[in-house]
Amino acid sequence: MPTLHRTLPALRRLRLANAFFQQPARLRLRPAAQPLRSLHSSPQVRQEEKKASPTTSASSADHAPQDAPDRPQSKIKYTSDSYPDLKRDSRFKTVSKEDVEHFKKILGSEAAILDGVTNETGEEDFEQYNSDWMRKYRGQCRLVLKPETTEQVSGVLKYCNEQSLAVVPQGGNSGLVGGSVPVFDEIVINLSRLNKVRSFDDVSGVLVADAGVILQQADEYVGKQNHIFPLDLGAKGTCQIGANVATNAGGLRLLRYGSMHGNVLGLECVLPDGTIMDDLSKLRKNNTGYDLKQLFIGGEGTIGIITAISILCPQRSSAVNVAYFGLESYEKVMEAFKEAKKQLGEILSAFELMDRQSQSLYHQASGAKLPLEGEHPFYCLIETSGSNTEHDSEKLNAFLEHVMSEEIVSDGVVAESETQLQSLWACREGISEAGQHWGGVYKYDLSIPLPELYSLVEDARKMFESNGLMHTEDETFPVKDVVGYGHMGDSNLHLNVATRRYDKEVERALEPWVYEWVAKRQGSISAEHGLGLAKKAFIGYSRSETMIRLMGKIKETFDPKGIMNPYKYI
């Protein structure tokens, strides 16, 4: 790990920071983050690695253990076994040889079909399409279709609708709520071959691209023309922009650029009956009737398949700084956030929270050295992005001086180089994967009013201390640790309960306790990951009966036969 430029304690370090900020070379653009060693390898890569690992037969535990480098690999339990109350909908037909022949005609290429219906394709070839990133959900699909054009998607869906064949749209399969994999034998429609950039206008900043373009590639593409994709997240090397829209993904830049609902200008979608809805508008303003595309943003593949998006990409900032602080209490973190907004204003582009436990898990799982010596109860990562180096430095220095002299932060570092900047971001982005290193993880993605945001983590920790399910070292306890981190700037907490195995007793302790806790504070039980299968049953904690009924009507209108991503969402 390269030496980081220390800015604290107090004035001596601040002077160093000032000197540092006067060097123009230090202010660099942050490109899409590099994969974090094995930790950040994409789900596809992980699957390749898994094939070589030893496997055991299906676990008799509540849930099979999670993939981890130092553990033998076990098969994931079928979702239908983990959730025996879920029954296959008898309205749906089972895929036949005739159906496969028909799909072959539509898609016209061997590469576009993974067929376990008419030939002997083994179960292991379907594993990456049937199992999710958390290795918590596993479907039983025997047919994967990979259309290359919107017309092919249309032909496939039209036929599926006529034949009552259920489907699951699938992007990079990095979703965290079990929405992207089948529950039973639904056909997977994988969008990875629908992956061309259609146009980019460097005057307006409007990018039009197929749904299957990988987020990192989209960002690099517009980056070459000095623009930035308005979304960034840890799975950028794997997830697809169509799916990002379908999940209304939030991520690390939302504080600055806002949500997909604001940035997406148009969509091309295929409805379940094969109709192509061409609303690929490039206009920022268009008040002509209901804004139907908004229903697909966050629709999680339940009313149609997004085949292309038109999105507004902002100008890329030429000056980017990242600072990483240690703080003594959550109150100090709130103070730091208040000051950051006040003093950094329009150049503040991220304010991320990490607790001590989350940084410790990241360190243990990845082996990476943490940026600060000693431990602090809380850490935060602040990013600024602007177009004027001198102006940004002046603002950042004033902010640093203030938070240090007022003792709001106790220690901190500022990245001096691109590598250091990436290392600091890795401390934040690497937590998600680190959480599941020991066997399994229960993930909660919550919107909570800021003053109470961290109390949930403290209460969850107290609960596991008193119910005897948690021990950080003793492997016989199911829970290893409870960690809290997230997008502080968006009031979005990620509560991760790192476990040594998926265990129904742990799940029962957490659910519906977490959801009740959040509902009492008028929060949301899903801030940015969506509902999928994991949160479907709990939607009532965040939405009224009237709203759920209206959602049901929308679903019925678009998908009367219910073939789109069944058993999920509502």
Q: Which residues would be at the binding site for ligand 2HG (CB under 6 A)?
A: 176, 234, 432, 443, 445, 494, 496
Alpha carbons within 13 A on the beta-carbon side of 550: 6
* 43 versus 116: smaller Cβ distance to ligand FAD: 43
Helix residue ranges per DSSP H, 497-544: 504-510, 513-520
Residue 558 pairs with which residues in a beta bridge? Answer: none
The item of ligand FAD, ligand 2HG, none sharing an interface with residue 496, based on CB under 5 to 8 Å by kind, is ligand 2HG
Judged by CB under 6 A, the residue of 150, 161, 173, 491 near ligand FAD is: 173
* 218 versus 409: smaller Cβ distance to ligand FAD: 218
* 113 versus 218: smaller Cβ distance to ligand FAD: 218
* 114 versus 434: smaller Cβ distance to ligand 2HG: 434
Q: Is 354 in the site for ligand FAD (CB under 6 A)?
A: no
* 464 versus 538: smaller Cβ distance to ligand FAD: 538
The item of ligand 2HG, ligand FAD, none sharing an interface with residue 300, based on CB under 5 to 8 Å by kind, is ligand FAD
> Listing from the earlier edge strand, what are the strands of the sheet with 305-312?
197-201, 206-210, 305-312, 264-270, 276-279
Shortest spacing between CB 249 and ligand 2HG, in angstroms? 8
Q: Is 432 in the site for ligand FAD (CB under 6 A)?
A: yes
Pairing of strands 479-487, 276-279: unpaired
CA angle 562, 566, 568 (to 5 degrees): 130
- DSSP string of 62-74? SSPPPP-TTS-EE
> Residues 272, 153: contact at Cβ < 8 Å?
no
Q: Is 230 in the site for ligand FAD (CB under 6 A)?
A: no
Shortest spacing between CB 176 and ligand 2HG, in angstroms? 6
Shortest spacing between CB 492 and ligand FAD, in angstroms? 9
Q: Is 239 in the site for ligand FAD (CB under 6 A)?
A: yes
CA separation for the pair 316, 185 (Å, rounded): 44
Q: Is 249 in the site for ligand FAD (CB under 6 A)?
A: yes
> Listing from the earlier edge strand, what are the strands of the sheet with 479-487?
5-6, 411-414, 319-327, 378-386, 348-355, 479-487, 492-499, 440-447
* 259 versus 432: smaller Cβ distance to ligand 2HG: 432
* 506 three-state secondary structure: helix
Shortest spacing between CB 278 and ligand FAD, in angstroms? 15
Judged by CB under 6 A, the residue of 165, 243, 267, 493 near ligand FAD is: 243
Judged by CB under 6 A, the residue of 251, 326, 386, 440 near ligand FAD is: 251
* 82 versus 174: smaller Cβ distance to ligand 2HG: 174
3-state helix, strand, coil in the chain (%, to 5): 35, 20, 45
Interface segment toward ligand FAD; rule CB under 6 A; list 168-176, 340-348, 369-377, 496-504: 168-176
Shortest spacing between CB 240 and ligand 2HG, in angstroms? 16
Q: What's the Cα-to-Cα distance from 444 to each of 206, 493, 498, rounded to whole Å?
A: 34, 8, 11
Torsion sign over Cα 432, 306, 115, 166: positive
CA separation for the pair 486, 475 (Å, rounded): 27
CA separation for the pair 134, 43 (Å, rounded): 10
Tokens of 35: 């994969």
* 76 versus 107: smaller Cβ distance to ligand 2HG: 76
The item of ligand 2HG, ligand FAD, none sharing an interface with residue 170, based on CB under 5 to 8 Å by kind, is ligand FAD
Binding to ligand FAD in span 96-155, by CB under 6 A: 133
Q: How many residues sit in the footprint of ligand FAD (CB under 6 A)?
A: 38
* 556 three-state secondary structure: helix
The item of ligand 2HG, ligand FAD, none sharing an interface with residue 244, based on CB under 5 to 8 Å by kind, is ligand FAD
In the block, residue with structure tokens 């961290």: 454
The item of ligand 2HG, ligand FAD, none sharing an interface with residue 494, based on CB under 5 to 8 Å by kind, is ligand 2HG
Pairing of strands 378-386, 319-327: antiparallel
Q: Is 489 in the site for ligand FAD (CB under 6 A)?
A: no
> Residues 156, 147: contact at Cβ < 8 Å?
yes
Q: Is 205 in the site for ligand FAD (CB under 6 A)?
A: no
What residue ranges bind ligand FAD (CB under 6 A)? 133, 168-176, 179-180, 191, 211, 233-235, 238-240, 242-244, 246-247, 249-251, 300-301, 305-306, 432-433, 528-529, 532, 565
